[in-house]
Amino acid sequence: MTESHIPPTPAQAKADSTSLGDLLGEVTRDISTLMRQEVELAKAELKQSTAQAGKGAGMVAGAGVAGHFVLLFLSLALWYALGELMGLGWSAVVVAVLWAIVAAVLASIGRKELKAVKGMPQTTATIQEIPETLKPREEQR
C-alpha cells in the first residue's frame, strides 16, 4: 500500500516557511489589535451607558423639582388652612417649625449615615497590599 501525500494547509505551509520570531511578532500584533478593539468597544459601551444614565438622572432631577413644588404648595395650603383658625402670622410659624423638625430629623439621620461610611480605610488597606516591586522607587543618591 502506498502512502498518499496530503498537501499542507495554508497555515501549515506558513508555519513551515516562517521563522519563530516572525510568528511571535504576528501574534503580538494580533493581540495588540485585539486589545485596541476591546478598548474601543468598551468606550462605545461606556458612552452608551453614560448617555442612558444621564437621561435617567435628568428624569430623577425633574421628579425632585416637581416634588419640591408639591411640598411647597402643600405647605402653603396648610399655612392658609391654619391661618383660618389662628391667623396667618401664627400659622406661618407653625408650618416653619414643622419644616424645621423635618430638617433636623433628616440632618441627624444623614449625619449618622455619613459617619458609618468607611471607604478610606479600605482603600488604604488595598494600597498597602501592592507588591513592593510595583511601587515607584526613590532615586538612589
What pLDDT shows up at residue 141? 47
What is the residue range of 92's domain? 18-127
9 part of a folded domain: no
Averaged pLDDT score across all residues of the chain: 83
Burial of 75 from C-beta contacts in 10 A (0-12 / 13-18 / 19+):
middle
Q: Rounded distance, CA 27 to CA 65, Å?
A: 56
pLDDT above 90 covers a percentage of the chain that reads 39
What pLDDT shows up at residue 122? 55
7 part of a folded domain: no
138 part of a folded domain: no
The pLDDT tens digits for 32-47 are 888 989 888 888 888 8
The answer for residues whose C-beta is within 8 angstroms of residue 81's C-beta and 6 or more apart is 91
- 29 or 117: which leads in pLDDT: 29
CA angle 61, 51, 47 (to 5 degrees): 150
10 part of a folded domain: no
What pLDDT shows up at residue 25? 86
Q: With 90 as the cut, is the pLDDT of residue 60 above it?
A: yes
What pLDDT shows up at residue 20? 80
Q: Rounded distance, CA 90 to CA 74, Å?
A: 17
What pLDDT shows up at residue 105? 94
3 part of a folded domain: no
- DSSP letter, residue 130: S
61 part of a folded domain: yes
The pLDDT tens digits for 89-140 are 999 999 999 999 999 999 999 999 988 887 655 555 666 665 665 555 655 4
22 part of a folded domain: yes
What pLDDT shows up at residue 10? 82
Q: Rounded distance, CA 96 to CA 98, Å?
A: 5
41 part of a folded domain: yes
User: Number of folded domains in the chain?
Assistant: 1
What is the pTM for the complete model shown? Answer: 0.48
Complete DSSP assignment for 47-91:
HHHHHHHHHHHHHHHHHHHHHHHHHHHHHHHHHHHHHHHH-HHHH
